[in-house]
């Protein structure tokens, strides 16, 4: 198993002390901060916007992995671009013109990602895999933290990794939803390069220690 990167999801952090939560994850060796953006339409929940994300700019050294779970994501790309934004990922299901939006993200100097909900087949990405830096496989139905990993997601990750090998592409595979210490190694062995963990990290009494425990997995 190649070593995976860990992107703790701020959706599960302590919103009353977000800066400290980010610092604890950084201290534990996190690679990115996953920023889940929800507006109550594409998914049935509301999280936070770009101002909250940018409030961490001078607090943590970690870059942002922005996940736009919103309708019309192309209208909001610029809001989430700052010097710490490494990835912006949009949902295939929310994009009428995905290729155009991915090009827009890249034109702003940010790596572009596309995400699939659990019920959306991989074939929906066939024509745009050459235009992405990252594919995010949702292993729960998006909208709320703390859900259980959908077991069939492992096969989906394996099939995507095989497509990547067959087509000699270099996009990263990210997995979000129900990631725990118990299943993280299996997910990485299936082909995932970046694991998003929310409650499994920020729900711990010692966030830094829990982050280290993820990073020490074999």
Q: What count of other Cβ atoms lies within 10 Å of the Cβ of residue 9?
A: 25
Task: Specify whether 36 is catalytic.
Answer: yes
* Helix, strand, coil share of the chain (percent; to 5): 40, 20, 40
Q: How far is CA 17 from the centre of its chain?
A: 21
Q: Show the DSSP H helices in 17-130 as ranges.
A: 18-27, 50-54, 98-107
CA distance 37 to 11: 9
Q: Identify the DSSP state of 70.
A: S
Choosing from 31, 36, 65, 133, the catalytic residue is: 36
Task: Specify whether 58 is catalytic.
Answer: no
Q: Are 65 and 33 in contact (CB under 8 A)?
A: yes
Choosing from 31, 65, 133, 176, the catalytic residue is: 176
CA 136, 140, 141, 147 dihedral sign is: negative
Q: What count of other Cβ atoms lies within 10 Å of the Cβ of residue 82?
A: 14
CA distance 80 to 165: 31
Distance linking the first and last C-alpha atoms of the chain:
8
Q: Provide φ and ψ at 25, rounded to 5°.
A: -65, -40
Q: Which residues are catalytic?
A: 36, 176
């Amino acid at each position: 198993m190649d070593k995976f990167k860990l992107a703790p999801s701020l959706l599960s952090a302590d919103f009353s002390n977000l800066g400290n939560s980010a610092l604890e994850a950084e201290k534990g060796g996190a690679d990115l901060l996953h920023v889940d953006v929800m507006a109550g339409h594409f998914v049935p929940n509301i999280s936070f916007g770009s101002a909250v994300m940018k409030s961490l700019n001078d607090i943590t050294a970690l870059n942002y992995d922005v996940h736009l779970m919103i309708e019309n994501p192309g209208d909001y790309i610029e809001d989430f671009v700052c010097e710490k934004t490494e990835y912006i990922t949009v949902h295939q299901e929310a994009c009428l013109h995905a290729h155009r939006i991915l090009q827009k993200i890249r034109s702003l100097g940010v790596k572009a990602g596309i995400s699939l909900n659990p019920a959306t087949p991989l074939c929906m990405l066939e024509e745009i895999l050459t235009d992405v830096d990252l594919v995010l496989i949702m292993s729960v139905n998006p909208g709320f933290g703390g859900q259980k990993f959908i077991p069939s997601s492992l096969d989906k990750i394996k099939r995507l990794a095989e497509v990547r090998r067959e087509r000699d592409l270099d996009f990263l595979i990210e997995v979000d939803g129900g990631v725990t210490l118990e299943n993280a190694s299996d997910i990485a062995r299936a082909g995932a390069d970046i694991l998003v963990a929310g409650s499994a990290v920020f729900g711990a009494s010692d966030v830094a220690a829990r982050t280290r425990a993820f990073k020490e997995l074999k």
